[in-house]
Amino acid sequence: MLCPMLSLGFLVLLPFTVAFNPIGGKGQTHVNIMERAVMMKITEVCREVAKAEGRDFNILGESLEELLQACLGRDKAGEVSAVAFKTALDQIYRQNGLVDSLFASSEAHHFHSEAFVEGRNLITVGVATVKANVQKENFQVAREALGRVSHTLQDFYSHSNWVELGHRTPYMNLLRPDYSIGPVAGEGEATCSNCEKEPCPNSILPTILQEKKLTSGYLSVTSSFKPAGKCSHGGPSDKTSNQRPRGGIHKDEPGLQSWELHTAAVDVAIAATLDLLEDIRAVAGDVDFLQLMGITRSSLLCFVIDTTGSMSDDIAEAKRVAISIIDSKKGTQDEPSAYILVPFNDPEFGPAIRTTDAEVIKTKISNLSATGGGDEPEMCFSGLKLALTTAPQSSSIFVFTDASAKDTHLEATVKALMQSTRSTVSFFITNPGLSWRRRRDTQRSTAFQLYQELAQASGGQAIKVSKEMLPQATDIIVDSTTSTLVVTLLQCVRSGGTTETFTFLADPSVRDMMIYITGNSFSFILQNPSGVSQSSQVPEGPLGTIQSVGNLYRVRMKHQAGLWKMEINSRQPYTLKVMGQSSTAFMYDFVEAFGGPHPGFVVIESRPQAEREAKLLVKVTGKQGPDFLNVTEVSLEEASGSGEVKGTVEDLGHGQYLVSVDRVPKGQMVLLLKGLDKNTSSLFQRQSSTQLTVSKLTIMAQANRTLEPGTPVSLPFTVTISGTGGTCTVRADDDRGFVQSFTDSLTLVNGSAQGSVELRPPANTPSGTDITLTITAESPDKSDSNYAVLRLSVVAKVTDLSPPACHIVSVRDNCSHNCSLSTWELSANITDGNGTGVRSVSSRPGDGVLNSTSSVGEGGVNVTQVLYRASCCSPNVEIIAVDGVGNVGTCFHSVSRLPTTAPLSGSPPLTASLSLGLYVLLLYFSQKAQ
Ligand SMILES: *[C@@H]1O[C@H](CO)[C@@H](O)[C@H](O)[C@H]1NC(C)=O
Ligand SMILES: *[C@@H]1O[C@H](CO)[C@@H](O)[C@H](O)[C@H]1NC(C)=O
Ligand SMILES: *[C@@H]1O[C@H](CO)[C@@H](O)[C@H](O)[C@H]1NC(C)=O
Ligand SMILES: *[C@@H]1O[C@H](CO)[C@@H](O)[C@H](O)[C@H]1NC(C)=O
Ligand SMILES: *[C@@H]1O[C@H](CO)[C@@H](O)[C@H](O)[C@H]1NC(C)=O
Ligand SMILES: *[C@@H]1O[C@H](CO)[C@@H](O)[C@H](O)[C@H]1NC(C)=O
């Protein structure tokens, strides 16, 4: 049962099962396999990075929060929130799980029906997609592609006879498209014997085993047909398994096969996933690899700036403000990890400029000038749309403009993107008197209201200010909203006319509390937990400082834990938002059960269905990990009223909760979560920042996520509506202009209809270009809409399949017993045959010195000559060469006098796994390989 895994150097014990089921299946899932591999690899890379930086690396606990702290450096990072980390990991895990629902009937995605060539092709394209997108820093697309491709890679070990053939290490050829997939059982060749009573661990025919041929199970949920003599996948939903030869060979969970084969399949799947991650790491480099895994301390800062002529008075101020924001964050713990600038004019907008260099973005902002466009409304929504598709999830976006938007047809698209990315958008509107009158909009009295609605829906603010007041306005909003620690305690929208009292709970973990109120004519009285009050007329009082600018009031509060009260009296509409900074935060998604051979839950990536029950998956994160937090109540609250629906909370363990709600209220809602911090024995409350809505419409779009340059694709989608039929209006938008046409009107028959979007990426589109495609559909009576947001990528067909070859030319080794006195040296020639050429060469570990020079050798072949020099105390080296499309070639050398323990290629020994008891169902021990 304990299988020594040579290439990995660790041993796995599985007291409970880890199986190949999707999210929420029978306890253990594909996601656990992915999670195991991802955690080990992150730990390993973080440890090496820390060593290279001369830092200590110690993980004190078992949580992701601990791992993040240790990776970022405990002293350097200060308090960090694990939300971005967990969100990134979810992007990987979710797509991994989704393969079972989106591609349930695709043989290739699961290596069913001996589809080995097709399955391996999917892996080749998937890996190329990950690599191309990592190189362009399109991390979200890369994560999603990684999740998907890993599923197929992992399924190979459960669904094929690889472990029955006696293998206990990964099949390297799956990740080497230049190698043949090997002998596969022929068409018509019998592969299985009949199984009278399960388990039947020896179903594979001896001839297949002797000839070392690959085979896999056939599966159908609708028909019992399978080719004569072939193995079935097996299990209750597989109709072919009742057909002779009866039984099944899948090792998805123990039961059908022996426990040994099941655990062997799990172990090899984890090892194979580690090899894949190592391959991607070699291409990405350690910094980008960790960013791909979501290890980041800070968020990103994004500006969308109007550059039309009418802004000429304001743009200097907007520029000054933007630059001062950047300067004020520099060197602080909130220093953004990257910056995005999107200028917009009329009719042009963009391009989106993304950089990690503060000086570059400052220069770009300085170079903006206001021209053209006149006083006409401009392309504000196009600019905002581009910002939303360029920025990662949960970014803060600041829009500076002085006029109404011309491109309001994009309103639904922008709203969809805001909800789907959960980014917060704040508008600074200077000169608000101008051009509002031009808009003829029956639903809103002013165009400002449109900006206000959008800001509210995203959890941001819409602020009307004069040019003179702009710096003040931005100061008071930006200083508190760009940290990753920002949490919302309370937010609501009211129409005014009465006096209303709001209460909110401040727990001891919250720092820097702020109240934001936008409105025109109101007064308030704030009361702290000890009963001390301060009114809106007192700018500097016992409870804090009140500042106002334009229509925005901010109270910076002196912290006191406990229940606060806010009584607001207003004749006009207003918004209220209470925020603070804390590492206690939560994430949420609506989920839906699905059936099929591998049932589970999928995340609903659009608005959930109206007028019916709903389920939410809620995850909490805190400084010491989720095990110190207990969620006691989750409810959906109307944003603009007092209506609320409480959910039933089921604890799934490790900070995950399944929340069931009988009926989701209509209109804008926020999610309210209450819980207990067991460490401080104090109650806490949090709200979602983004407002949620439900819809009677659903849009389903299934897509191959990878497109080829110059090749048109037709992407089908289905719109469904509950209730009456009629004609829906559809829009499809992307951020690259690749959409050629789409079905813009759909007549629903029996509540549903199909349409399609035609996309054509130009032939010269660089590999690794990502596309965000947004499809929105509006109900026949225009009262309701929903969306689908798809992230696709363009990847050129990979023709260079071979990695660079590394040839060790000479080694000079004078190492003596006292290693610190001597050095050793290695020289190697690296070539890439007829391929795309050697793009980079690096060495690992990083404590030697590597020099490389390129020259043209014999026969006009390009040669990269490498010289590596290191202390004899560092006796091992792995030279890593990457070619133009990300094929990775390595060579290993050791001058160690001891028997070598390191593998020749692939993963170095994983001692990293020791301290990670993370996924508590799994116990494992670290052991040196022999
Ligand atoms: C969590 O809260 C629930 C409801 O208050 C309570 O029944 C349960 O015992 C708590 N669990 C822990 C581990 O504190
Ligand atoms: C998706 O990819 C498969 C195989 O690569 C192809 O057969 C199919 O037509 C593609 N579908 C779409 C909608 O492009
Ligand atoms: C390069 O391509 C030529 C022609 O296709 C082939 O004959 C040759 O063997 C290739 N060389 C290598 C090193 O792959
Ligand atoms: C390696 O490169 C560094 C800087 O590029 C140079 O100073 C050094 O002399 C080189 N060493 C060798 C052995 O070529
Ligand atoms: C290594 O490359 C250099 C430069 O092309 C060449 O002169 C030398 O012969 C090569 N050595 C070997 C062993 O291939
Ligand atoms: C060698 O490298 C040069 C410059 O990088 C490139 O232009 C040329 O095509 C390469 N030659 C071969 C045979 O790969």
For residues 654-679, give the mean pLDDT.
91
- Residue of the CA atom closest to atom 2 of ligand 3: 834
Would you say the C-alpha torsion 221, 225, 229, 230 has a positive or negative sign?
negative
Q: Assess whether 315 and 287 both reside in one domain.
A: no
Q: Assess whether 507 and 623 both reside in one domain.
A: no
Q: Assess whether 342 and 382 both reside in one domain.
A: yes
Residues in the chain: 930
Q: Assess whether 549 and 449 both reside in one domain.
A: no
Q: Return d(Cα 608, Cα 613) in angstroms, integer.
A: 10
Residue list, ligand 6 pocket, CB within 6 Å: 837, 860, 862
For residues 111-124, give the mean pLDDT.
96
Q: Return d(Cα 117, Cα 209) in angstroms, integer.
A: 20
Total domains in the fold of the chain: 6
Query: Is pLDDT of 912 > 70?
Result: no
In this structure, is residue 616 part of a structural domain? yes
Q: Give percent above pLDDT 90 in the chain.
A: 58
Distance 853 CA to ligand 4 centre (A): 10
In this structure, is residue 837 part of a structural domain? yes
Relative to the CA of 853, which ligand 4 atom is closest? 14
Q: Give percent above pLDDT 70 in the chain.
A: 90
Q: Does the predicted TM-score (pTM) go above 0.85?
A: yes
Best probe residue, ligand 3, of 800, 834, 861 (max atoms within 8 Å of C-beta): 834
Identify the residue whose tokens are 């939903």.
Answer: 237
Query: Is pLDDT of 725 > 80?
Result: no
Q: Which residues pair with 516 in a beta bridge?
A: 554, 577
Q: Return d(Cα 296, Cα 287) in angstroms, integer.
A: 10
Q: Return d(Cα 647, Cα 616) in angstroms, integer.
A: 9
Q: Return d(Cα 482, Cα 502) in angstroms, integer.
A: 26
Query: Is pLDDT of 757 > 50?
Result: yes
Tell me if 713 CB under 6 Å of ligand 2: yes
Which ligand lies nearest the alpha carbon of 704?
2
Q: In terms of Cα–Cα distance, which of 590, 601, 563 is closest to 647? A: 590
Relative to the CA of 869, which ligand 4 atom is closest? 13
Q: Assess whether 334 and 441 both reside in one domain.
A: yes
State the CB neighbour count (10 A cutoff) for residue 487: 24
Count of CA atoms in the C-beta half-sphere (13 A) of 802: 10
- CATH number of domain containing 656: 2.60.40
Query: Is pLDDT of 643 > 90?
Result: no
Tell me if 630 CB under 6 Å of ligand 1: yes
In this structure, is residue 898 part of a structural domain? yes
Give the pLDDT of residue 31. 83
Best probe residue, ligand 1, of 627, 630, 650 (max atoms within 8 Å of C-beta): 630
Show Cβ contacts of residue 746 under 8 Å, excluding neighbours closer than 6 positions: 719, 727, 728, 730, 753, 754, 755, 777
Per-residue pLDDT tens digits for 424-447? 999 988 865 544 444 444 445 577
Q: Output phi, psi for 112, to 5 deg.
A: -80, 165
Q: Assess whether 714 and 678 both reside in one domain.
A: no
Q: Assess whether 228 and 141 both reside in one domain.
A: yes
Q: Return d(Cα 626, Cα 65) in angstroms, integer.
A: 9
Residue 907: pLDDT band with limits 50, 70, 90: very low
Token pair listed for 574: 């207003």
Q: Assess whether 32 and 165 both reside in one domain.
A: yes
With residue 85 as reference, give the H or E element that holds it.
Answer: helix 83-102
Q: In terms of Cα–Cα distance, which of 59, 226, 8, 85 is closest to 619? A: 85
Q: In terms of Cα–Cα distance, which of 423, 432, 415 is closest to 340? A: 423
In this structure, is residue 919 part of a structural domain? no
Distance 846 CA to ligand 5 centre (A): 25
For residues 823-851, give the mean pLDDT.
91
Q: Return d(Cα 332, Cα 335) in angstroms, integer.
A: 5
Give the pLDDT of residue 8. 22
- Residue of the CA atom closest to atom 2 of ligand 4: 851
Token pair listed for 320: 């000054």
Per-residue pLDDT tens digits for 369-379? 887 765 566 78
**DSSP letter, residue 349:** B
Cα 440 off chain centre by: 40
Which domain covers residue 642, as residue numbers? 585-684
Please, are residues 240 and 220 in contact by the beta-carbon 8 Å criterion? yes
In this structure, is residue 692 part of a structural domain? no
Relative to the CA of 714, which ligand 2 atom is closest? 13
In this structure, is residue 929 part of a structural domain? no
In this structure, is residue 325 part of a structural domain? yes
First to last CA, the chain: 18
Tell me if 802 CB under 6 Å of ligand 5: no
Distance 600 CA to ligand 2 centre (A): 25
- Residue of the CA atom closest to atom 1 of ligand 3: 834
In this structure, is residue 910 part of a structural domain? no
Best probe residue, ligand 1, of 627, 654, 659, 676 (max atoms within 8 Å of C-beta): 676
Query: Is pLDDT of 906 > 70?
Result: no
Best probe residue, ligand 2, of 99, 704, 759, 792 (max atoms within 8 Å of C-beta): 704
Last residue within a domain, chosen from 770, 794, 818:
794
- CATH number of domain containing 577: 2.60.120.380
Per-residue pLDDT tens digits for 335-349? 888 899 999 888 888
Q: Assess whether 237 and 332 both reside in one domain.
A: no
- Residue of the CA atom closest to atom 9 of ligand 1: 630
Give the pLDDT of residue 315. 82
Q: Return d(Cα 148, Cα 534) in angstroms, integer.
A: 55
Last residue within a domain, chosen from 582, 599, 631:
582
The rounded mean pLDDT for the chain is: 86
Please, are residues 865 and 827 in contact by the beta-carbon 8 Å criterion? yes
For residues 686-704, give the mean pLDDT.
89
Show Cβ contacts of residue 590 under 8 Å, excluding neighbours closer than 6 positions: 603, 604, 608, 614, 615, 616
Q: Assess whether 269 and 320 both reside in one domain.
A: no
Per-residue pLDDT tens digits for 451-499? 999 999 999 999 888 888 888 887 776 766 667 889 999 999 999 888 9
Per-residue pLDDT tens digits for 21-78? 444 434 346 888 999 999 999 999 999 999 888 888 988 887 899 999 999 988 777 7
Q: Return d(Cα 665, Cα 623) in angstroms, integer.
A: 33
Distance 829 CA to ligand 5 centre (A): 6
Give the pLDDT of residue 6. 21
Per-residue pLDDT tens digits for 128-180? 999 999 999 899 999 999 999 999 999 999 999 999 999 999 999 999 999 99
- Residue of the CA atom closest to atom 9 of ligand 4: 851
Tell me if 495 CB under 6 Å of ligand 4: no
- CATH number of domain containing 883: 2.60.40.10
Q: Assess whether 200 and 85 both reside in one domain.
A: yes
Please, are residues 368 and 305 in contact by the beta-carbon 8 Å criterion? yes
Per-residue pLDDT tens digits for 594-638? 776 666 778 888 999 888 889 999 999 998 889 999 999 999 999
Per-residue pLDDT tens digits for 868-899? 999 998 899 999 999 999 999 999 999 886 55
Distance 800 CA to ligand 2 centre (A): 22
Last residue within a domain, chosen from 292, 314, 336:
292
Tell me if 711 CB under 6 Å of ligand 2: no
Please, are residues 891 and 806 in contact by the beta-carbon 8 Å criterion? yes
Residue list, ligand 3 pocket, CB within 6 Å: 833-834
Q: Which amino acid belongs to residue 236?
A: P
- Residue of the CA atom closest to atom 5 of ligand 4: 851
Q: Assess whether 551 and 607 both reside in one domain.
A: no
